[in-house]
Amino acid sequence: MKVLVAVKRVVDYNVKIRVKTDGTDVETSGVKMSMNPFDEIAVEEAVRLKEAGTATEIIAVSLGVPQAQETIRTALAMGADRGIHVQTDAVLEPLAVAKLLKAIVDKESPDLVVLGKQAIDDDSNQTGQMLAALMGWPQGTFASKLEIADGKANVTREVDGGLETVGLNIPCVVTTDLRLNEPRYASLPNIMKAKKKTIEKLTTDDLCVDVTPRLEVLGVEEPAKRQAGVIVADVAELIDKLKNEAKVI
């Protein structure tokens, strides 16, 4: 079983996000970048499928600036077999990403495509769903458990009030939720081995995909600053403030 995993380079989740002074975007220059955390979970799941003898090959794909290759190297160090980098400086909206991934899926014919449920930079939560729609494949989103058996992928999802398990015919698209697994750290020997693994380089033209944005960003702002709190002397003062200032009781 061939597994394709989509890995995005995003601002590291520990970084405090700053907005560019011209209000057009989030500041990314001089900022630590890492693999999107949900994509680490996707790579981990693929590696576990390979360790269990279910997957035979794992391909890590990233689309974007040249440094996205570092993200692919991280996936290779975690256990992916080879990488594909579609290099572009263009801002890629989820539809463009889904179209590029479709072109790669058409070329590689994987049995399973695993993506993160969302990228923590744009929080779109759209790409996996769009890819499944473009392919006409079944999708299991927000997977908290994945089992492959009898030519099916059984995906358990956390829904309101409990768990839902859907059985998908393979080939299919799965997106990962936080509780699916705990991703491993790449060991030093595996980081060294990953340097020898191949990364195929492609362009958006090679894949004949028009990535022109369909949306216009009107502005990016920081959230309003929280006002400083006050310390009240006693319960009577607290009740008075809740009643007469906040007017919530």
Report the interface residues with ligand AMP, using CB under 6 A: 6-8, 36, 38-39, 61-64, 92, 94, 97, 115-116, 118-119, 122, 124-128
d(CA 131, CA 207): 15
CB 188 to ligand AMP: min, Å: 26
- β-partners of residue 4 are 59, 113
CB 240 to ligand AMP: min, Å: 46
CB 91 to ligand AMP: min, Å: 10
d(CA 18, CA 159): 33
Angle between helices 127-135 and 94-108 (to 10 degrees): 50
Q: Which lies closer to ligand AMP via its Cβ, residue 179 or residue 243? A: 179
Q: Which lies closer to ligand AMP via its Cβ, residue 17 or residue 242? A: 17
Q: Which lies closer to ligand AMP via its Cβ, residue 39 or residue 111? A: 39
Q: Which lies closer to ligand AMP via its Cβ, residue 45 or residue 111? A: 45
CB under 8 Å to 108, separation ≥6 — which residues? 2, 4, 59, 84
CB 42 to ligand AMP: min, Å: 6
On whether the CB atoms of residues 173 and 116 are closer than 8 A, the answer is no
